Amino acid sequence: MKILITGGAGFVGARLARTLLARGQLAGREIAQIVLADQFAPPADLAAEARVQARTGPLLAQCAALREEGEGGGFDGVFHLASAVSGECEADFELGLRSNLDSTRALLDALRARADAGTHAGAAPTRLVFSSSVAVFGPDPAVPLPAVVADDTLPAPQTSYGTHKLICEHLVADYTRKGYIDGRSARLMTVTVRPGRPNGAASSFFSGIIREPLAGEEAILPVAPDVSHPVSSPRRTVEGLIAVFEASREAYGGRLALNLPALNVTVQQMLDALQAVAGSAVRARVKPQPDARIAGIVANWPRGASAARAAGLGLQPEASFEDIIRQYIADCAASNPAALRGMA
Amino acid sequence: MKILITGGAGFVGARLARTLLARGQLAGREIAQIVLADQFAPPADLAAEARVQARTGPLLAQCAALREEGEGGGFDGVFHLASAVSGECEADFELGLRSNLDSTRALLDALRARADAGTHAGAAPTRLVFSSSVAVFGPDPAVPLPAVVADDTLPAPQTSYGTHKLICEHLVADYTRKGYIDGRSARLMTVTVRPGRPNGAASSFFSGIIREPLAGEEAILPVAPDVSHPVSSPRRTVEGLIAVFEASREAYGGRLALNLPALNVTVQQMLDALQAVAGSAVRARVKPQPDARIAGIVANWPRGASAARAAGLGLQPEASFEDIIRQYIADCAASNPAALRGMA
């Protein structure tokens, strides 16, 4: 089985690749090769793996080759994670359209060419999981944002990023209806705790207020402690993508996107969990410093999400934010102990 | 004031142009010119009108010129009606993507270029009304179709046409959010009674069972009399497009699409209305001939629609289907009496 992961060098994509390699199989079939398409080279551990092939460059530029490859047999499965993020799309409208809309369309058309070619008559259309986002939801005068957004809440994107994700959900659905692909869209929650550095995204602090104190650094908290948000750990997020891939179409249910499980947690609960797991000294490194701009952005985000369809696939959120912090600590202990130098 | 109507030679577009010419003004400003962009030449009466300029050719090919024109001042208002219809999109997937998605994107980018050019700093972004469709709605295992679709019903398109309309709604909303245009999307109901010939669309019979009997011809009724559908007369449809254009943003309400008013009517009510208006002999020309294919398509359509936001703009559906038939008869009496040769 040959699998394509777009955005495969990114945080979620690389973790998905590692998980798939460790499993060795997907949907009951042995994984022979994983192609990581990304504008950046993959992490060293993945680059060194015999079953991994890296293709570095913009996805849009890679799609012509993907199309030819598809006509020769192509991929047995695709996880389409590549995306310009929210802040990039707001700063550069053209970049967002190109990276998120044009690239997805080109990828879907490359997969459609396989179905159209007829050389694989009888072969099932390529199964594809598209990583959409909770960012499709937002408030609108015509549709107030519910406290908890459900699978079937009316999307009202407040960013170009959310708009592109929603549009791609519907492209995936229509290419699926036509039989060109077997597509499924899963809306990711805010993935936390992300390793690395603050990235300037308005949501960056959701990871920063845990990651920086554990590394012995101060972290700014720009919003009120009663801000609530739907989050998911990296592990549960990857588990969700795989489960959506492996689901039968009947179990997936229709063609519309589903929400992945969310732990709906307040900032106060996140801080309490940090204190419980890592102690008061670590917790004390979080410094409230209200930022009206960030608070204003966050006020347009859902305070929580439900995921009934994902639950039907056996997916559940973490039981507590403490578990999410412990997962991050375990990951760091294995790969990057310096990230924990702030712990006693 | 200079107005662009894409699809301006089509049935709704030409009627909109005639209505605007007769009014002489839009949103309180005198109409100096109406540009009809269409792949076909406009009807003779419009072609002969001094204030009308026809531009014949695919919209996509016209957008480069529209962009240059925009940078020189451009249009004060746009009605974007051009679209490949449902049947065309199902038969030719590429054509649908090109005609409906690529053309809309190119049009929006042409208007954005004006906002970006900066040469009109302080000028309001171009106001644009996009004609979306009740075809954005449909049943999905995850979201059953309600008996009456409202402004805020979750769309679940069942055709490429409906998918494209929904995607364009969200492009219009995002370009509006960014300040590139002042866009509004209005979902048209099934416009009936359309003049002309049956066009092979599954919905064709909604006009055919009125139009053909009035012309002295038999009409096939392919569905059961209890089929219900949201319809609108040509006049009310045009009135709705103009009201949505003239509304303040506050009155329009947010950025999501709204439904135009619908008369929710069963086929039986349509036939009863035909008998009441035109007599039993005309009514008797409708011949039931069940067609499982068409009945199957129609079963996926909404049985009715509500339009609370449009009502807030003062828009109402016709009071009865008899009124719609009388409107058609009056139109034909003025322009094409032969279409009424079946009346006693």
In the structure, what pLDDT confidence band is assigned to residue B114 with cuts at 50, 70 and 90? confident
The mean pLDDT value for B145-158 works out to 96
Asked if residues A46 and A54 have their Cβ atoms less than 8 Å apart, the reply is yes
How does residue A122 score in pLDDT terms, banded at 50, 70 and 90? Answer: low
What percent of chain B stands above pLDDT 70? Answer: 98
Pair B101, B168 in one domain = yes
Shortest CA distance to A304 belongs to which of A153, A156, A195? A153
The enclosing domain of A28 has a CATH number of 3.40.50.720
Residues A126 and A255 in one domain: yes
Please give, rounded to a whole number of angstroms, the shortest distance from the CA of B218 to a CA of chain A. Answer: 35
Q: Are residues B51 and B12 in the same domain?
A: yes
pLDDT, tens digit (0-9, with 9 covering 90-100), for A262-318: 999 999 999 999 999 999 999 999 999 999 988 988 888 999 999 999 999 999 999
Is residue A163 located within the same domain as residue A272? Answer: no
Q: Is the pLDDT of residue B119 over 60?
A: no
Round to whole Å and give the CA distance between B249 and B234. 25
Residues A225 and A331 in one domain: yes
In our burial notation (b when 16+ CB lie closer than 10 A, e otherwise), range B214-228 reads bbeeebbbbbeeebb
Does residue B195 belong to any structural domain of this protein? no
Residues A214 and A330 in one domain: yes
Is A161 a known active-site residue? Answer: yes
Judge whether A251 lies within some domain: yes
ipTM for this prediction: 0.96
Whether A37 is in a domain gets the answer yes
The model's pLDDT over A226-241, given as tens digits with 9 standing for 90+, comes to 999 999 999 999 999 9
**Token code pair at residue A289:** 């410093």
What are the phi and psi torsion angles at A36 (to 5°)? -105, 105
Which string of DSSP letters, residue by residue, matches B268-332? HHHHHHHHHHH-HHHHTTEEE---HHHHHHHHTS-S-B--HHHHHTT----S-HHHHHHHHHHHH
Report how many domains make up chain B.
2
pLDDT greater than 80 at residue B294? yes
Instruction: Flag whether pLDDT at A170 surpasses 60.
Output: yes
Strand partners, B229: B265
Range of the domain at A326: 204-229+262-340
Q: Return mean pLDDT, chain A.
A: 94
First to last CA, chain B: 46
Q: Which of A116, A168, A170 to mutate to test the interface with B (most CBs of B within 10 A)?
A: A170
Query: What token pair was written down for A343?
Result: 């712990």
- Are A230 and A189 in contact, with CB atoms under 8 Å apart? yes
Residue B311 sits in a domain of what CATH number?
A: 3.90.25.10
At B314, the pLDDT band (50, 70, 90 cuts) reads very high
User: Which of A65-74, B275-284, B311-320 is least confident?
Assistant: A65-74
> Would the CB atoms of B142 and A309 count as touching at under 8 Å?
yes
Please give the residue that has the higher pLDDT: either B124 or B166: B166
- Residue B276, CB-side half-sphere exposure with 13 Å CA sphere: 13
A135 in the same domain as A216: no
Q: For residue A74, give the nearest of A29, A108, A20, A110 by alpha carbon.
A: A110
Q: What is the mean pLDDT of residues A106-113?
A: 93
Q: Does the beta-carbon distance from A254 to B174 stay under 8 Å?
A: no
The pLDDT of residue A107 is above 60: yes
Alpha helices in A215-266 (DSSP H): 234-246, 249-252
Q: Using only C-alpha atoms, what is the Rg of chain B? A: 20
A254 and A269 share a domain? no
Kindly report the length of chain B: 344
User: Cα distance from A258 to chain B (closest Cα, Å)?
Assistant: 9
Residue B198 inside a domain? The answer is: no
CA dihedral A277, A283, A288, A293 (to 10 degrees): -40
Q: Same structural domain for residues A244 and A292? A: no
Reply yes or no on whether the pLDDT at B97 is more than 80: yes
DSSP state of B123: P
With a CB cutoff of 8 Å and minimum separation 6, the contacts of A307 are A151, A258, A259, A260, A261, A262, A315, A317
Given this model, what pLDDT does residue A115 score? Answer: 76
Percentages helix, strand, coil for chain B, rounded to the nearest 5?
Answer: 45, 20, 35
Answer yes or no: is A304 within a domain.
yes
Q: How would residue A330 be classed by pLDDT, with cut points 50, 70 and 90?
A: very high
pLDDT for res A233: 97
Indicate whether B211 and B80 sit together in one domain. no
Q: Is B130 found in the same domain as B218?
A: no
Is A199 inside a domain boundary?
no
Task: For residue A295, give Cα distances in angstroms to A89, A221, A299, B61, B306.
Answer: 19, 10, 6, 44, 36
The two structure tokens encoding residue B188: 């048209």
Is A195 within a domain?
A: no
Q: Which residues of B touch A152 (CB under 8 A)?
A: 142-143, 154
The reply to whether B72 and B135 lie within a common domain is: yes
Task: State both tokens at A155.
Answer: 């999307």
CB contact under 8 Å between A140 and B171, yes or no, is no
Subunit contact A256:B170, Cβ cutoff 8 A: no
Token readout for B211 is 């139009």
pLDDT, mean over chain B:
94
Residue A197 lies in a domain: no
